[in-house]
Amino acid sequence: MSCALAGLVVLYASSLKEYSFRNGHSKGLQYHVAPDSSVCTTPDCVTAAARLLQNMDPSVDPCQNFYQYACGGWLERHVIPETSSLHSVFNILRDELEIVLKGILETESERDRQAFKKAKMLYRSCMNESVIEQRDSQPLLKLIDSIGDWPVASEDWNSTAGTEDTRLDETLATLNAHYNKKVLLEMFVWPDDRDSSRHIIHIDQPSLGMPSRDYYLNDGNYKKVREAYLQFMVSMVKIAREDRNLTQDDEHVWDEVKQVMELEREIANATSPAEERNDITVLYNKMTLRELQDTFGLDGFNWTRYIQGIMESVSIVVNPEELIVVYCSPYLDKLNNILPRYDRRTVQNYLVWMLLMERVSSLSRRFKDVRAHYRKVSHAHTYVYACVFYLLNPLFFQVGELIRKIQEAFVETVEELNWMDDQSKEKAREKAMAISEQIGYPDYILQEETQKLDQEYTHVGAGGMHCFWSPCRKREESYLPGLDLDHKQLFFLNFAQVWCGACRPEYAIQSIKTDPHSPLEYRVLGSLQNFEAFSEAFHCQRGAPMNPEEKCRVW
Per-residue pLDDT of the chain (555 residues; tens, 9 = 90+): 333 333 323 323 333 333 343 344 334 444 444 455 588 888 888 999 999 999 999 999 999 999 999 999 999 999 888 778 889 998 888 889 989 988 888 888 888 888 888 888 888 888 888 888 888 889 989 999 988 999 999 988 865 554 455 689 999 999 999 999 999 999 999 999 888 889 999 999 999 999 889 889 988 888 888 999 999 999 999 999 999 999 888 899 999 999 999 999 999 999 999 888 888 888 999 999 999 999 998 988 999 999 999 999 888 999 999 999 999 999 999 999 999 999 999 999 999 999 999 888 888 888 888 888 787 644 434 445 556 555 544 333 345 556 666 777 777 777 777 777 888 878 777 777 776 655 444 444 444 444 443 443 344 455 555 555 555 555 566 788 888 899 899 999 999 999 999 988 888 887 887 777 889 999 999 999 999 999 999 999 999 999 999 888 765
- Are 469 and 491 in contact, with CB atoms under 8 Å apart? yes
Considering the domain architecture, whether residues 191 and 158 belong to the same structural domain is answered as: yes
- Are 200 and 318 in contact, with CB atoms under 8 Å apart? no
Considering the domain architecture, whether residues 346 and 426 belong to the same structural domain is answered as: no
Q: How many domains is the chain built from?
A: 3
Q: Is 99 a member of any domain?
A: no
Q: Is 50 a member of any domain?
A: yes
- Are 203 and 327 in contact, with CB atoms under 8 Å apart? yes
Residue type, position 229, single letter: Y
How many C-beta atoms surround the C-beta of residue 108 within 10 A? 9
Beta bridge partners of 369: none
Considering the domain architecture, whether residues 305 and 176 belong to the same structural domain is answered as: yes
Q: What stretch of H or E contains 520?
A: helix 520-529
Burial class, 134, CB count within 10 angstroms (exposed 0-12 / middle 13-18 / buried 19+): exposed
3-state secondary structure of 87: strand
Considering the domain architecture, whether residues 409 and 472 belong to the same structural domain is answered as: no
Q: Is 231 a member of any domain?
A: yes
Q: Is 454 a member of any domain?
A: no
What is the C-alpha to C-alpha distance for residues 459 and 553, in angstroms, rounded to an integer?
Answer: 19
Beta bridge partners of 479: 39
What is the C-alpha to C-alpha distance for residues 287 and 404, in angstroms, rounded to an integer?
Answer: 39
3-state secondary structure of 186: strand
pLDDT for 373 equals 77
Query: Burial code of 355-380, b = ≥16 C-beta within 10 A, e = fewer?
Result: bbbeebebbbeebeebbeebeebeee
pLDDT for 184 equals 95
DSSP designation for 502: E
What is the C-alpha to C-alpha distance for residues 226 and 216, in angstroms, rounded to an integer?
Answer: 7
pLDDT for 404 equals 65
DSSP designation for 203: E
DSSP designation for 374: G
Structural domain that includes position 424: 400-436
Last residue of a domain, one of 390, 419, 436: 436
- Are 42 and 60 in contact, with CB atoms under 8 Å apart? no
Which residue, 228, 423, 263, 246, is CA-closest to 338?
263
Considering the domain architecture, whether residues 432 and 467 belong to the same structural domain is answered as: no
Q: Is 545 a member of any domain?
A: no
Which residue, 84, 51, 83, is CA-closest to 70?
51
What is the C-alpha to C-alpha distance for residues 284 and 63, in angstroms, rounded to an integer?
Answer: 43
Considering the domain architecture, whether residues 408 and 377 belong to the same structural domain is answered as: no
Q: Is 263 a member of any domain?
A: yes
- Are 131 and 310 in contact, with CB atoms under 8 Å apart? no
Which residue, 402, 485, 460, is CA-closest to 48?
485
- Are 493 and 485 in contact, with CB atoms under 8 Å apart? yes
**pTM of the full predicted structure?**
0.64
